[in-house]
Structure 1
Amino acid sequence: MTPRWWAAAALVALLAALALITALRVPWTSPPAPRADQIAALRELPADAVARGREFRSALRPSMYGGMAIGLVAALALGLTPLGAALVRLAGRPFGGHWLAQALLGGLLVVFAGELVGLPFAAWRHSVVRRFGLSTQGWGGWAVDLLKGYAIAAVLGAIVLVGFYTITHFAPRWWWAFGAAGAAGLTVLLTFVFPVLIEPVFNKFTPLEAGQLRSDLVAMADRDGVPVSDVLVADASRRTRAVNAYVSGFGPTRRIVVYDTLLREAPAAEVESVVAHELGHAKDRDVVTGTLLAALGAAAAVCAFYLLGSWAGLLRRAGVESLAEPRAVALLLAITTVAGLVAGPLQNAVSRRIEARADRHALALTRDPATFAAMQARLSQVNLGDPDPNPVEYMLFASHPSTVQRMATARAWARSAR
């Protein structure tokens, strides 16, 4: 078979593996809690808090949709016209148009051109978050975090761009195979590296002081069969009033991380309820599942890119001769942007199912539905969430069940326990 046939076969196999893992590892059979319980939960929430959350989300909406729209327009303008290829050529010109200079400098130029177009909308979002009091971060701190993000993106982007175009340069017929393996491997590597190298760039972590809460959290993790090496406190309060907790790392590096805002806002029982939910992710190996799905998806994307390389009309629009040349980086980013928008609702549907399973795990572990419901109400109020969002936006953007769904789950669990 020709390389194209092998690439097509690999793509089919990868998509089949994605479908199989999604079917086996995602809990599709459990329906949401009854709507009557959701309505009852909504009535329990303070009306002014619900109105405040909806006002906040409404204020965020223009900047969110505007940022998405301008990002898509910028990606298409760079990728489906010769403009992107021209930028890559311009970046490589001081180095004699060398392919490596075009891949690295031209690729980063195209990436950050798209980022800069969306910067006003990011600033708009930050101004809204500050106006509603959810952010404690001034413009200076916001700018520093933004530059940190750009620096990390530049490093990761450089690795991807140089690696990808080195493969396409030296293996022009079989680059899809090496590229797919590299994309999958890099995805897995980042899962391990992120908690150790990336998280400390944005937050400082200190051990939770010895006391009853620390002992209870460690004991709960041991009881759940998910032993942790430490309980850490993240200094989230220097940029937000939002509350949260999570479990990160694997094996001997697994640790519970609690926002300092959560410790200030919530009583100990509610902190345990949040951590119990996060332990559910570790217990069910949700991070492993997500990493595997992401790795397979990245490998499938590389195979799909290779197959798209025969679409002459697409290449002609971008002003390039092949997807394997560095001048085509803008076209690849445009395809990736469109694919991400299309795949987003499906990814969120998968995430909501997994989060709902972690909720049920927390209820079974703590056996305290009242505290679980109270914690969900507190999360919504402090984080300025809409507890019962618009169904269309919920389907498109929500990665977690709504607040009323989670509170209703606690009600249903309490009835079944009785």
Structure 2
Amino acid sequence: MAEDFTAEQVARGRALRRAQVPWLLGGRAVALALTLVVGLTPAGAGLVTWAGGLFGGSRTAEVLAGAAALVLLGQAVGLPFGARVRVIRRGYGLVTQGWAGWAVDALRGLALTLVLVLPLAWGLYALTAHAPQRWWVPAAGAAAALTVALSFLHPLLIEPVFNRFSPMPEGELRSALLGLAERDAIRVRSVLVADASRRTTALNAYVSGFGATRRIVAYDTLLTTAEPREVELVVAHELGHVKHRDVALGTVLGALGAAVAVCVLGLLTAWPPLLSAAGATDAADPRSLPLLAACAALIGAVSGPAQCAVSRRIEARADRHALELTGDPEQFIAMQRRLAVANVADVDPPRILELLFATHPSSVRRIAAARAWRPQT
């Protein structure tokens, strides 16, 4: 580690981690605790009844207003924690956006969540009314189909909500990036630049979409900070995800996971003790909404470490692909140094934090793997 990062760089990354992790984990813990309290006590049923009463008290009103109330409550609880993390990151030079811009983004995120959640809640309770005991069978299929649809539409409908994209100008770098994709036999629709600098100084790039929506996206911060060869290495890593069909595989696994989660929810919401604790009569009762949210949150929390473990393996494989595609471990290591320093990363975090929450291997592990890599003969 000493040969790759100075003592000051290591200390700076650790200091940021120590400053923000308690707030990040605290926000998760408080949000989960509140969701469980609301979902496993009559408080949630009372919230749904009250919110629905504001709009006439019909079943549809309770479903839509109740779902909106749960979303708003979750956003409100997480806001102070997110604001504090933002203050900390701004102190380390990672935030360039003002509070007004941050508030606008928060409102955009809230609006997007409501646009997605309210139709889902309405459709779900239409199914429970039609088949109170077997609603989860068609709901599981619908959840899987929706996951696939969102994966395809995400770069077209959701990414533009938070960033503006412009075509990368013609030049050596654009040609080099398209050349990497061509050598990988990957069809790329476009190479775009995201205006990340209006929010952050962090560096990143990614390949999003699949089929007709696939494109290479580079943060403008990366293009203005990193050497062109380092940008190529970042993109080569992202092309590795495409080459190994990580987006498609992730979509399939996500669809299967969503279907299984719905089936588990169906079993849980049919269990009389849980329904009684939540103050609901059955799954068709809109007052079961908070119970559904609580069970879904608990499933997500429990499955989180396993998802992170799978993600780390996928990212390590993409690193190997970048090395195989470019044959340039020295520049790969330089790129990892650049990313770690610019993003103020803790280059060697505590193992327990990495196992539970990290979606990527640590910088030290990625650099060590690059040093150990040898070309295939």
Question: What TM-score bracket applies, with the shorter chain setting the length?
Answer: over 0.9
Q: Is the contact between residue 305 and residue 323 of structure 1 (CA under 8 Å) also seen in structure 2?
A: no
**Structure 1 segments of 4 or more deviating over 6 A?**
none
Are 1:160 and 2:113 an aligned pair?
Answer: no
Do 1:195 and 1:248's aligned partners in 2 also have CA atoms closer than 8 Å?
yes
Amino acid at match of 2:251: T
Residue deviations 1:363-383 (CA, integer Å, cap 9, x gap): 000000000011011111100
2:360 matches 1:400? yes
Q: Equivalent residues in 2 for 1:373-392 (5 A)?
A: 373-392=333-352
1:24-59 residue CA offsets vs partner (Å, 9 max, x unmatched) = xxxxxxxxxxxxxxxxx4532121111111111111
Tell me: CA distance 1:309–1:251, structure 2 relative to 1, closer, same or farther (3 Å): closer
How do 1:239-278 residues align onto structure 2 when only pairs under 5 Å count? Answer: 239-278=199-238
DSSP 3-state at the match of 1:256: strand
Matched, 1:226 2:192: no
Distance in 1 between the 2:277 and 2:163 partners? 44
Q: Which moved more, 1:83-92 or 1:343-352?
A: 83-92
1:213 aligns with 2:173: yes
Partner residue of 2:241? 281
What are the Cα deviations for residues 344-399 of structure 1, in whole angstroms up to 9, with x where unaligned? 00000000000000000000000000000110111111001111110000000000
CA distance in 1, matches of 2:314, 2:25: 26
Aligned counterpart, 2:13:
53
- Corresponding position of 2:134: 174
Distance 1:110 1:229 in 2: 39
CA distance in 2, matches of 1:342, 1:231: 37
Looking at structure 2, the residues matched to 323 and 370 of structure 1 have their Cα atoms a distance apart, in angstroms, of: 58
- Check 1:252–1:95 CA distance in 2 against 1; reply closer, same or farther (3 A cut): closer
Structure 1 residue 407: deviation in Å?
0.5
Q: Verify the 8 A CA contact 1:42 1:404 in the aligned structure 2.
A: no
Query: By how many angstroms is 1:129 displaced?
Result: 1.1
Note if contact 2:45-2:279 (Cα within 8 Å) is conserved in structure 1. Answer: yes
Matched, 1:132 2:92: yes
Tell me the equivalent position of 2:158. Answer: 198
Counterpart for residue 343 of structure 1: 303
Query: Gapped runs of 5+ residues in structure 2?
Result: none
Pair 1:332-2:292 in alignment: yes
Q: Give the AA of the match of 2:295.
A: I
Within the alignment, does 1:117 sit opposite 2:70 as a pair?
A: no
Q: Distance in 1 between matches of 2:269 and 2:100?
A: 44
User: Is 1:247–1:255's contact at 8 Å kept on the other side of the alignment?
Assistant: yes
2:269, 2:213 → 1: CA distance? Answer: 42
Which residue of 2 is the match for residue 36 of structure 1?
A: none
Query: What's the secondary structure of 1:242's corresponding residue?
Result: coil
Q: Check whether the contact 2:32–2:298 (CA below 8 A) recurs between aligned residues.
A: yes
SS at match of 2:217: strand
Deviation of the 1:323 alpha carbon: 2.6
Question: Residues of 1 paired with 2:236 and 2:82: CA distance?
Answer: 33
Give the RMSD, CA atoms, in angstroms: 1.3
**Aligned residue for 2:273?**
313
Three-state SS of the structure 2 residue aligned to 1:43 is: coil
TM-score computed with the length of structure 2 as normaliser: 0.97
Alignment-mate amino acid for residue 194 of structure 2: A
Question: Deviation digits for residues 254-303 of structure 1, max 9, x if unmatched?
Answer: 11100000001100100000000000001111011111111111111111
Give the secondary structure class of the aligned counterpart of 2:373: helix
Q: Distance in 2 between matches of 1:127 and 1:234?
A: 23
User: Deviation of residue 95 (structure 1)?
Assistant: 4.3
What is the distance in 2 between the residues matched to 1:279 and 1:42? 30
By how many angstroms is 1:417 displaced? 6.1
Unaligned runs of 5+ in 1: 1-40
Alignment: residue pair count: 377
Q: For 1:389, what is the secondary structure of its paired residue?
A: coil
